């Protein structure tokens, strides 16, 4: 793993940062994903495509995707299919691959650090559903829960519960959904782990949503995508 030492690390959120659907940006030109539903195919704009290729062409830069995608969803990106990255994390950062293999020391660390968090997470979901029976949650491969919620009262109830009782959990509120996961399973945990392990000489990051704020704040320089809540806040 010496090839990763003393390099520039470029940590990249994927969806709506490096690529997005045509619905979100009609300037998409280069195919980026192979979804089961072709209508949800994402594309790079010319600028995003040029940025990615600039990074990949520089031997001093290590490109590290950080994504909420599942393993199966990540494998349907051109980045995976073209082997454009050898180090990456999915499930918001709860699973880390180095040299295209699951890095078991990190997996064991996550398991140890979340020994009680997942039971607390299930308990929290039960309380929310008891209060709001119509709210549906998706358990994503036993890694985190997500729900298409556009109700501010439900989101506020969840956040208040976490603040009062479940300080080992966190919620990412986006415009039309919310994600709940253990604090140690986020993107910033991966960034801190890899920077401590490999001591890069510089770190860069690109992101677009509230779930990216923490990891971007751990980078020396940050790029905010033109799509998403972060860009909206900067331009409001």
Those residues whose C-beta lies under 8 Å from the C-beta of residue 169, and which sit 6 or more positions away, are 117, 120, 121, 124, 162, 180, 181, 182, 183
Count the alpha carbons within 13 Å of 21 in the hemisphere toward its beta carbon.
8
Average pLDDT of the residues in 172-187: 88
Res 65: pLDDT = 98
Dist CA 99 CA 114 (whole Å): 25
Q: What is the mean pLDDT of residues 34-59?
A: 95
pLDDT tens column, 116-126:
898 999 999 99
pTM, rounded to two decimals: 0.92
Domains and CATH numbers, the chain: 2-111+185-234 (3.40.50.1000), 115-183 (3.90.1070.10)
Residue 185 CA to its chain's centroid (Å): 10
Q: Is residue 231 predicted with pLDDT exceeding 80?
A: no
pLDDT digits (tens, 9 = 90+) for 88-98: 999 999 999 99
């Amino acid at each position: 793993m010496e090839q990763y030492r003393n390099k520039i690390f470029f940590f990249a959120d994927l969806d709506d940062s490096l690529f997005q659907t045509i619905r979100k940006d009609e300037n998409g030109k280069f195919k980026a994903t192979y979804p089961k539903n072709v209508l949800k195919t994402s594309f790079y704009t010319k600028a995003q495509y040029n940025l990615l290729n600039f990074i990949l062409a520089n031997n001093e830069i290590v490109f590290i995707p950080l994504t909420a995608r599942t393993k199966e969803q990540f494998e349907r990106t051109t980045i995976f299919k073209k082997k454009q990255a050898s180090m990456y994390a999915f499930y918001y950062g709860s699973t880390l691959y180095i040299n295209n293999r699951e890095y078991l020391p990190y997996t064991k660390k996550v398991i140890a650090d979340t020994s009680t968090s997942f039971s607390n997470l299930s308990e929290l979901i039960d309380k929310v559903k008891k209060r709001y029976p119509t709210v549906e949650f998706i358990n994503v491969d036993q890694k985190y829960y997500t729900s298409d919620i556009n109700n501010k009262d439900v989101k506020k109830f969840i956040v208040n519960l976490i603040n009062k009782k479940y300080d080992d959990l966190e919620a990412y509120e986006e415009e039309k959904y919310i994600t709940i996961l253990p604090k140690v399973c986020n993107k910033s945990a991966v960034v801190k782990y890899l920077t401590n392990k490999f001591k890069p000489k510089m770190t860069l990051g690109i992101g677009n949503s509230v779930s990216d704020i923490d990891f971007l704040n751990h980078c020396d320089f940050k790029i905010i995508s033109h799509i998403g809540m972060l860009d909206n806040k900067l331009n409001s």
